[in-house]
Amino acid sequence: MGREFGSVGVVGLGTMGAGIVEVFARSGVAVTAVEISDVALHRGEVTMRGSLDRAVAKGKLSAGDRDALLGRVTFAVGLDALHEVDLVIEAVPEHLDLKQRIFAELDRVCKPEAILATNTSSLSVTEISVATTRPNQVIGMHFFNPAPIMKLVEVVRTVVTSQDVVTDIEALCERLGKVDVTITDRAGFIANALLFGYLNQAVSMVEARYATREDIDAAMKLGCGLPMGPLALMDLIGLDTAYEILDTMYRRGGRDRRHAPVPLIKQMVTAGLLGRKSGRGFYTYEKPGSPVVVADELTPATSNDSGRPTHIAKVGVVGSGTMATGIIEVFAKAGFEVVSVTRGAEKSAQVCERLKTSLNKGVVRGKLTERDRDAAIGRVTWSATIDHLNDVDLVVEAVVEELSVKKALFASLDEICKPGVVLATTTSSLPVIECAVATERPADVIGLHFFNPAPVMGLVEVVRTIRTSDATVNTATEVCRALAKHAVVCADRSGFVVNALLFPYLNDAVKMVEASYSTADDIDYAMKLGCGYPMGPFELLDVVGLDVSLAIQRELYLELREPGFAPAPLLEHLVTAGYLGRKVGRGFRDYSKR
């Protein structure tokens, strides 16, 4: 049991500081909220009252509870007001010299047994602590925004932080209803170290004009189930704040290029494009501080007149795996005639049975009528030879992820299919251009990367090569629209959008465990509770398969040659040992005993 904190001080009443005050006051703790001036104090009080009033309006807090909560808060100017508190949490801007000055003054003002905590998200807690004569009583308490809602607190201990202090703070987090992960003092801790490398890479895609801001954000929301796209999240965080965090992590974290701020971020900060708070960042907002996005000169046009799309009525799907079956279902339910081609009658029978099982589940769940199910099944023709694709309008290849197999198939399709047919590959990592040049019609070849399970996932990555025609791209996007899928268009680069952003983040997480910085469980907690991710990185790796993840990471590294993309040795060792994830009962976790 940790000691009881009867009173707490909070220094700095910006969005985060005001939220931390609310967290403690909601838990019945007396709080002294301190700012540098009357103007700043009033602004902080208004911020906190606004948050509470919104909670009352939504029925999440009664007016009486709000008033009682406010009665526990004392607003004051100057650090001298903190002379009797048991714990102080500093939440001022992320500048080391400023935090050091404040901690030196807190050391003078606060009683000897008081614990001094910093809410820094990236700076060295150790460097802050040495500004005091009590570094053993200094600790990091990194809350996440909005503090009253987000459950995670990263508890950051330095090499001299007393174990009693760590125990007290961990117990306090539990009393506040928070989940703590205790870690040592390293740049970015867990969540920011993983999050900002991913955000930085997303900005590099915009800078390189690899895909539009809208498509990058849609890809990560629809393809990974994230609550926000990376560029919208950058706008919410503030580009100036993001730059400072990245720059700090780059300098403190061994100069990892994953954290070297993309030049575009600094350029936007210099131009005053700071995100929501300035009304303009990667997106344009209704007014400063507003979450409402408005159209600007970068908003995509609703129509594209360059290249008339081809009318698609009949589709061929080549393959017999889970993805091929799902794609057949998607097209058949959308009203397209489908020719399914497998390597034999037995394979066709298996695909047919899986299709019927999936459609029947849709009927049982009330998502499909029996009539619609029967109609979808009736639109599928089963075949064991690609010669039956001679009259289709579109072919979707979903065979094994081996380039030689795909190239041979596309060469055969080139001979069999009529002129003007769109030839698509569902590859998730191989170069689409390799498939295209295996034919005499590279302008008609494109990537259509569906996500698994195809009937459920709303995203399709439309991958154009340097030889793909505008008409083929427009045809592909029109087909996606007919399938009720969201198409994101990108160039032919390893990983496309989703995998290129997702797997380096997963690889970074593996490196954290490999370095014994944190556990798989704590990292998963950090990303789910601190960033709102639907799954932690190790849960996801075990679901995807460690062998699949390693293969994709290797492809990314071979193409981009970035040292930070080199597969983590731990991932390679686990794959060599046969620990491939849930499918074999053992990955980062052991599933055989569950």
User: Catalytic site residues?
Assistant: 121, 142, 154, 192
Peptide bond into 453 cis (omega under 30): yes
Cα-only R_g, the chain: 27
AA letter at 285: Y
AA letter at 221: K
DSSP code at position 35: E
Is residue 139 within 8 Å of residue 126, measured between CB atoms?
A: no
> Which two tokens mark 269?
């900060």
Chain-centroid distance of CA 493 in Å reads: 20
- Cross-strand bridge partners of residue 182: 155
CA distance 453 to 102: 53
CA distance 510 to 520: 8
CA distance 80 to 82: 5
Rounded to the nearest 10 degrees, what angle do helices 263-270 and 239-252 cross at? Answer: 140
- In a 3-state reduction of DSSP, which class is residue 54? helix
Rounded to the nearest 10 degrees, what angle do helices 546-560 and 569-576 cross at? Answer: 140
Question: Whose structure tokens read 């689409």?
Answer: 432
AA letter at 47: T
Is residue 173 within 8 Å of residue 167, measured between CB atoms?
A: no
Residue 376 to residues 6, 335, 368, 460, 507, Cα–Cα distance (Å): 66, 7, 10, 21, 41
**CB-count burial class (<10 Å; 0-12, 13-18, 19+) for 253:** middle
AA letter at 481: R
Beta carbons within 8 Å of 11's beta carbon, 6+ residues apart: 17, 34, 79, 82, 88, 89, 90, 91, 92, 102, 106
